[in-house]
Amino acid sequence: MSIDTLAHNGLPGPQPGTPPRRPASIRRTTSLDLTLPEGPEGPLAVGGRARDLVTDPDGGHAVLGSALTSLTVTDGVVTALSTYPRRPALSALIGRQALVGWRTGLWRTIREDVEQGSDLHQLLDDLPGGYVISGFTRGRARAAQSASDPLPSPGRRLDVCAGWAADSRAARILETTGGAPRAVTPHAVPIDHADDARGWHTWPALPPWGISRRRRFDAWRDADTSQVQIDAHFRDSFVDDTGAERVLHEYALAATLGDHPAYPVVALTVTPHVLPHTECPRAAASVQDVVGMPCADLRDRVSATLFGPGSCTHLNDVVRFVADVPALVVAAEGRWAGYPQGL
């Protein structure tokens, strides 16, 4: 089976473009790029960009917030870190692992950013997930350099997610051959809106074996119900040794949040578009377990609730960011308070 088969696992393949921005809405876009400037055995360079763009009721727009991050991860440990806006307290995280305990460290050092759902926190919060997916391209970069097979996976942990459940196709192939099945990674299609130059922030071109996690969400309040509506997109993509961009994970999300103060999750649907292994799409059903949760609880409770062979680490990252939406909507509405037409 070709790795370009878009219908693999019954999924539709990469979602093209971005919907037009709605009047009286806010859009956050983020990108986290992870590259190997010194080769597959060298440190990981991580660069992040984020922007919060408000679209006014009359169609005007303004940037409400932006953030930049630059990190170096050496043998799994953060060895350099700088950000805009500056947060001097973050220097305490240099020397900490990029995976285990990283998010706890953020809560302890920039708690106000965490509680306010800042775009800076969103970028830094994405580091563990980004570090996990960087292993995918590091292994392939090593294989390309040595002309070997990138796929041996002895000792692979099972039942950590739906795609690698103990009874999954991937696990059976691993047991039979000693190697992992090849991930389905179709060619990427552009995710920007051709007629809206402001629809996304800009990002640098990825080099071969660079990998990027890109997110977009639009949020607006329904004028009739006061509920908050969310439309979101999530994509992990990488550049192979031919210079082609391919998609590793992609999800679309639609959600409804109840009114303040708790903003509970009233409805939530996550649609897989690209996933690497046969059973991966099964995890999408697990998100129904968070319906009814207050937004403020999502970051902690998603990790505690959605785990094991019915889950997906990357799907969890899609859902966790919904916790930031209420603060952003409130900030946008503060800007619109003087508009005579209201919301």
* Unique residue bearing structure tokens 């509970």: 264
pLDDT at 26: 97
Query: For residues 266 and 280, what is the distance between their CA atoms, to the nearest angstrom?
Result: 25
Query: For residues 181 and 79, what is the distance between their CA atoms, to the nearest angstrom?
Result: 33
**Residue 73 token pair:** 């991860």
Residue 35 in domain: yes
Total domains in the fold of the chain: 1
| Pair 245, 188: CB distance under 8 Å | yes
- What residues make up the domain containing 96? 8-151+159-336
pLDDT at 307: 78
Query: For residues 288 and 290, what is the distance between their CA atoms, to the nearest angstrom?
Result: 5
Helix, strand or coil for residue 63? Answer: strand
Encode pLDDT of 203-231 as tens digits: 999 999 999 999 999 999 998 999 999 99
Residue 25 in domain: yes
Residue 127 in domain: yes
Residue 1 in domain: no
Q: Could you tell me the pTM of the whole model? A: 0.91
Identify any residues that bridge with 230 across adjacent strands, giving them in sequence order.
219, 255
pLDDT at 342: 40
pLDDT at 2: 40
Sheet of 77-84: strand order equals 77-84, 61-74, 44-55, 25-35, 211-221, 228-239, 245-257, 265-274
pLDDT at 343: 41
Averages of pLDDT over runs of 10 residues in the chain (343 residues) are 50 91 96 96 97 94 96 98 97 96 95 94 96 91 72 62 74 76 88 85 94 97 94 96 94 94 94 90 90 91 81 90 94 82 44
pLDDT at 72: 98
Residue 2 in domain: no
Query: For residues 25 and 6, what is the distance between their CA atoms, to the nearest angstrom?
Result: 32
Encode pLDDT of 162-204 as tens digits: 677 777 777 787 778 777 777 889 999 999 877 888 999 999 9
Residue 3 in domain: no
